[in-house]
Amino acid sequence: MLKTKPQELLNIDYKPPKTGWMKTPVDFRPGTWCYSALPKNLRVLGLPNPRDWQPSDEDWKLPPNWKETIIRGFKERLDRFRSFKLFLDICVRCGACADKCHFYIGSGDPKNMPVLRAELIRSVYRRYFTAAGKILGELCGARDLTEDVLKEWFYYFYQCTECRRCSVFCPYGIDQAEITMMGRELLNLVGCNINWILEPAANCYRTGNHLGIQPHTFKDMIEFFLDDIENITGIRIEPSFNRKGAEILFVTPSGDVFADPGTYTLMGYLMLFHEIGLDYTWSTYASEGGNFGLFSSHEIMKRLNAKMYAEAKRLGVKWILGGECGHMWRVIHQYMNTMNGPADFLEEPVSPITGTKFENAKATKMVHIVEFTADLIRNKKLKLDPSRNDHLRVTFHDSCNPARAMGFFEEPRYVLKNVCNNFFEMPEETIREKTFCCGGGAGLGTDENLEMRMRGGFPRANAVQYVHEKHGVNRLACICAIDRATLHSLMDYWVPEVQVTGIHELVGNALVMKGEKPRELDLRGEPLMGTEGGGDV
Ligand code: SF4
Ligand code: SF4
């Protein structure tokens, strides 16, 4: 927990510094940046310049030719990604995005305005790649690439969660997330990266999941929850692992398997699949849906995404069902088909229970668990008792990636309204495509960065506080594993009365299973309303 009290953190100074932005050096204040990546992780990933260093060091131990490397990498990316060049060229500095970033709102630092964050890299683009910038220099907003500029890039590109809220308000649709991704790629070329991103990616290379868990432990962990489910429902579930010939491969972020409250969501998946008799298998090799490549480089993203499809091919399944995750879905929806597709060896997904053809997944062959469940409910295939969630008053956080990258707004709400009786929306300006980020996405959800996370997460927490005070909300639902981890700390700090949940935890509570014993406990082992003293629901 952050030591600074919430009221102190709210003393935000929005006055810009007296010096111009090019003359204001970056200040690596503790609590606002992430530790550097360990050399061992760079070696696993084949990234350059592994060494011991920290961003607060004077000497970053850059390679001797670091400047040439970055300028060359810059040119390669301008040639390869037309969107990057376009975004650098077309900004008219109208300022519509300026106050839309949660990091600016929470910190008051002008370099956290999306327009100025982009200017950090655009100024270098002008200097080396435009005629005006080469001749006029600072007069036209161009500047040399120096070590100080590199440090500024590091600080501010690792203070952007690639959430894309600002792009919703930009009249030209300039996508700051894409600019941040390019900034991080360029930093990677000279070994300037953070451990919270590269360790999970390296672990995925080694064992298939972010936490570096071995296949047998992955299986043991899932089996551990079968006992809990049996205690609550009286039903013993027997999932299968690495089963060739299953109809469906199920992949979810490893956070669901290893950390509360994601584990309760996992119990909900297991109960649902058992109840509908789904012919599916887990994989202990493709044991991660999340993709930290999205936060570091296209090459890593591509490789991590390919693993799920390689496993689907090996097992001979028809299609893939994916769990509640954020960045997994952004990669699937926006990049998979051009990076690794088309997945022609799989079939267009059809629900074996309802017969619904998921035409939206025609290219990727991968269906989101929430749309799968919404379809089951719409076709009346589930017996649900929403009163089992009556001890909860629920609101929904649209996770940035499924919301803004997929337009996935209605299905989660449809499921929630069918499994609980007390659902309340946060204010309109803070949900759906205008949703506020958790403040810890894109690999920034680490403890050394806690002050910045609490600042960046403040707008989201403020909206939760509003529905907590107005409607007594005590549960914040979301469909992203990173959110389930980062919102947990955010609520502890800003609105401690509210706990975080995945949607399938609430589905598991409400699901009336054939042959179950009378339920007295929810999936967290807490008494259901009306059973506090024991007895039937
Ligand atoms: S809203 Fe778009 S065009 Fe306007 S300043 Fe921001 S990025 Fe530039
Ligand atoms: S954190 Fe989100 S709103 Fe802020 S600059 Fe990055 S993409 Fe835009």
The per-residue pLDDT for range 311-344, each reduced to its tens digit, is: 999 999 999 999 999 889 999 988 998 999 889 9
Ligand 2 contacts CB of residue 368 (under 6 A): no
Distance 97 CA to ligand 2 centre (A): 9
* Nearest CA among 178, 6, 167 for reference residue 80: 178
Among all bound ligands, the one having the nearest atom to the CA of 112 is 2
Residue 533 has pLDDT above 80, yes or no: no
Nearest CA to ligand 1 atom 3: 91
Local confidence band at 487 (pLDDT 50, 70, 90 cut-offs): very high
Nearest CA to ligand 1 atom 8: 91
Distance 303 CA to ligand 1 centre (A): 33
Ligand 2 contacts CB of residue 164 (under 6 A): yes
Ligand 2 contacts CB of residue 177 (under 6 A): yes
Write the single-letter amino acid at 46: G
Residue 537 has pLDDT above 60, yes or no: no
Distance 326 CA to ligand 2 centre (A): 16
Distance 114 CA to ligand 1 centre (A): 8
Nearest CA to ligand 2 atom 2: 163
Question: CB under 8 Å to 2, separation ≥6 — which residues?
Answer: 9, 31, 450, 451, 454, 493
Distance 139 CA to ligand 1 centre (A): 21
Local confidence band at 536 (pLDDT 50, 70, 90 cut-offs): very low
Give this prediction's pTM: 0.95
Residue 535 has pLDDT above 50, yes or no: no
Cα separations (Å) of 353 from 318, 374, 476? 15, 12, 30
Task: For residue 334, give the DSSP letter.
Answer: I
Which ligand 2 atom sits nearest the alpha carbon of residue 117? Answer: 5
Percentage of the chain modeled with pLDDT above 90: 94
Identify the bridge partners of residue 282 per DSSP, sorted by sequence position: 241, 250
Q: What is the pLDDT of residue 458?
A: 98
Among all bound ligands, the one having the nearest atom to the CA of 115 is 1
Higher pLDDT, residue 1 or 484: 484
Distance 21 CA to ligand 1 centre (A): 17
Choosing from 176, 435, 437, 438 the residue with most ligand 2 atoms within 8 A of its CB, the one to mutate for a pocket test is 176
CB atoms within 10 A of CB 79: 10
Token pair 């006992």 in the structure block, residue? 227
Which ligand 2 atom sits nearest the alpha carbon of residue 159? Answer: 1
Local confidence band at 532 (pLDDT 50, 70, 90 cut-offs): low
Ligand 2 contacts CB of residue 161 (under 6 A): yes
Three-class SS of 444-468: CCCHHHHHHHHHHCHHHHHHHHHHH
Choosing from 87, 97, 99, 103 the residue with most ligand 2 atoms within 8 A of its CB, the one to mutate for a pocket test is 103
What does the radius of gyration of the chain's CA atoms come to, in whole angstroms? 24
Report the alpha-carbon distance of residue 445 to residue 442 in Å, rounded: 8
Give the DSSP H/E element, type plus range, for residue 198.
helix 195-207
Q: What is the mean pLDDT of the chain?
A: 95
Percentage of the chain modeled with pLDDT above 70: 99
Backbone angles phi, psi at 436, to 5 degrees: -90, 140
Structure tokens given for 389:
């969630």
* Contact (Cβ atoms closer than 8 angstroms) between residue 320 and residue 285: no
Q: What is the mean pLDDT of residues 249-270?
A: 95
* Residues framing ligand 1 (Cβ under 6 A): 91-97, 114-115, 170, 172, 174
Residue 301 has pLDDT above 60, yes or no: yes
User: In angstroms, how far is the first alpha carbon of the chain from the final one?
Assistant: 37
Nearest CA to ligand 2 atom 3: 101
Task: For residue 23, give the DSSP letter.
Answer: G
Q: What is the pLDDT of residue 534?
A: 45
Q: What is the mean pLDDT of residues 169-189?
A: 97
